[in-house]
Structure 1
Amino acid sequence: MAGMDFFIRPATGTTSADWVRIPNADIKVRLTRRMTRTIVRGEEGDNLHDEGSESAIYTISGEMQLDEYKRILAMFRSGQPCIHDPFEERDVKVVFASMEYDGSNESFKFELIEDIV
């Protein structure tokens, strides 16, 4: 599958001009449920309890120029940015879990986490 356009804006952004577009990015999303597991000693089995919340982890990779990287780095250091989830077609408030940039080939990788309660 060809890369997709990835959109991110700073926490303080309020207009469409605040969005940064990164073309041809590889976007992956991983959803997990939060569960509690209770092991009952002396009895058979265990109990799983669904806590009713889930987490979405977005992994974004591709290439970007140094100026774009500096703009994203400012977002990394200044609060919770917002991204556009291309799969669900909605805006999502996230936190950066990690960020990598290789200046020799302008490749990047971001890991962003959304908490859904």
Structure 2
Amino acid sequence: MEKLANPEMARAMLEQEPLLNLLAPFGVSADAFAVVAGSVELLLGLLVISGALPQVVAILMAVPFTATLALFGATEFLGHLPLYGVLLSFLVLGSLEETSHSLSGLRRRAGVPTH
């Protein structure tokens, strides 16, 4: 989300590492890509806060965080290590019936049997 808050920083990063702009082959400028990437980060963050679809969000978030390891290596891994732990907990706890409802914010209806 820092891409939306600090577009100059995002532009500088994309100039330093042009491979990060995945939409460059389609003619998308660094500034436009920063807005798109920042908007996606904001959306995923809101989904995390809402608790909706925890497993899907965890998988979607893991893709860019893992992909950037090829460019930035161990520094990137160590910086995102706490996030990997949270994503792993979303995957595991979202699989358990007793925790999936609380993670997703769904309420159980009265009279509906649980397994």
Bigger relative CO (Cα 8 Å, ≥ 6 apart): 1
TM-score, reference length from structure 2: 0.21
The structure that is helix-richer by fraction is 2
Q: TM-score, normalised by structure 1?
A: 0.21
